Amino acid sequence: MLCALLYSLIYIIQNYFYVVDFLIAAAILGIVIFLYFSGRIDRFHWVLFWLGCALGLTWELGCNINMLVSEYYPVARFITPPPYHFMLAVIAHSIWDGGLFLIGALLVRKVCSPPWFERFRMRELLVLLIWGQAQALVVELASAFSSAWEWIPYWWNPLLFIFNDHYITALPQLIWLAAMLAFYPLAIVIKRKID
């Protein structure tokens, strides 16, 4: 029974990746709205979600526009093009990013002692950095597994390894490294303004 369920899940992810991708983005947005308006997350975490969406929008929009218009050096390519307009993919992935940043902030609460995001603490930053790197790798592996997109290796985007005959490169890891390094101090500033 478990094997049949696992096989079905793999089949759905491989054959309906973009549908699942979009549905998860919609679910993330719905869950965060529900959590906020039901009082299960506070205003600080609500703002962190939207900060994460805004940060994600910077690279989601930039990379997708580059993929559409760059004739010589696209940063990535769709192996299987999404079945909807690229802006819908940008919005969906920005919501994903907001959710991933929010999970990182909640992990800080689980792993680190309070008070959280009050001042710079190396342990909080390390939790965010480890989470950022781990989830970025999982997202790229899921994309390669489903033949959705892949980043293209260049001297400035070195190949890390090949998975399912698709490239896994350093650029997504570097993007999330920079993103967490920007997110953490902004979260501290936001916490001070909200409190």
Quickly state the pLDDT bin for 14 (edges 50, 70, 90).
confident
pLDDT digits (tens, 9 = 90+) for 61-71: 999 999 989 88
3-state secondary structure of 102: helix
Would you state the pLDDT for residue 28? 98
Q: What angle do CA 159, 160, 164 make, to 5 degrees?
A: 90
CB atoms within 10 A of CB 40: 11
Residue from 138, 121, 128 nearest 183 by CA: 128
E strand or H helix at 77 = strand 76-78
3-state secondary structure of 70: coil
What pTM was computed for the model? Answer: 0.94
Is 180 in contact with 132 (CB distance < 8 Å)?
yes
Would you state the pLDDT for residue 195? 73
Query: What's the whole-number average pLDDT of the chain?
Result: 94
